Amino acid sequence: MKMAELSAETGVAVATVKYYIREGLLPPGERTSVNQAQYGEAHVKRIRLIRALTEIAELPISEVRRVVEALDEGRSAPEALGAAQDALTSRYREGRGEERGDRLLAELVTRRGWQIMAESPTRTMAAEALAAVDEAGLLGIKEHLDDYAAAAENVARTDLETIEEFQEREDLVYGAAIGTVLRRPLLDALIMLAQQHETIRRGFAG
């Protein structure tokens, strides 16, 4: 298809498509004449990924580039998932985590028997979140940490199942990256709706 058709198909303005190409997020089309090029299904898919990453995950272009690079370098699905995790937790990249949070997390990881990376922004994020919970005196959350971890295991298992179902390699990598990003606000919203239900069910008058 031509640039105008690609724009119509994806609902993204021509100027924006050109910007994506200039930024190296989208491969250029196959040139058919001096000022015309052809675009294919891969371009449509890539644009949908970029839109999801910028609009839904609200990632800056620099982080979108990291995810896209993982795709272009043909890395494996777990690596693509890792790149998506990394982009989503970029603000923790420079953090060191807090000692108290680190200790609480290490205890939890041992209890659950989790095999995880020794260092990652995700780990820093978890340690900081635990330290904040501890500092706020939210004993309830600390006491129910294993309940939250068990729920997290169920979500992660389901995430991996949704990824495994992709048949083609390209779809699989796409699913790993975009699935992580799109599932997050979905689960957040479902939890809050379930809170509404649970509050009403319990007749919880506070």
Site for a second copy in 95-124 (CB under 8 A): 109, 112, 114-117, 120, 122-123
Taking the least distance from each CB to a second copy, the nearer of 28 and 60 is 60
Q: Which of 30, 73, 147, 170 binds a second copy (CB under 8 A)?
A: 147
Biggest CA-to-CA distance, the chain: 71
Total residues contacting a second copy by CB under 8 A comes to: 90
Q: Which of 4, 14, 106, 139 binds a second copy (CB under 8 A)?
A: 139
Q: Minimum distance between the CB of residue 27 and a second copy, rounded to whole angstroms? A: 19
Looking at this protein, which amino acid is placed at residue 89? Answer: T
Looking at this protein, which amino acid is placed at residue 171? Answer: D
What is the rounded distance in angstroms from the CA atom of residue 37 to the CA atom of residue 16? Answer: 16
The torsion angles phi and psi of 141, rounded to 5 degrees, stand at -65, -40
Residues near 199 by Cβ (< 8 Å), separated by ≥ 6? none
Judged by CB under 8 A, does residue 73 bind a second copy?
A: no
What is the rounded distance in angstroms from the CA atom of residue 61 to the CA atom of residue 25? Answer: 9
Judged by CB under 8 A, does residue 205 bind a second copy?
A: yes
Judged by CB under 8 A, does residue 182 bind a second copy?
A: yes
Judged by CB under 8 A, does residue 184 bind a second copy?
A: yes
Sign of CA dihedral 108, 114, 116, 122: negative
The residue count for the chain: 206
Judged by CB under 8 A, does residue 69 bind a second copy?
A: no
Q: Minimum distance between the CB of residue 105 and a second copy, rounded to whole angstroms? A: 8
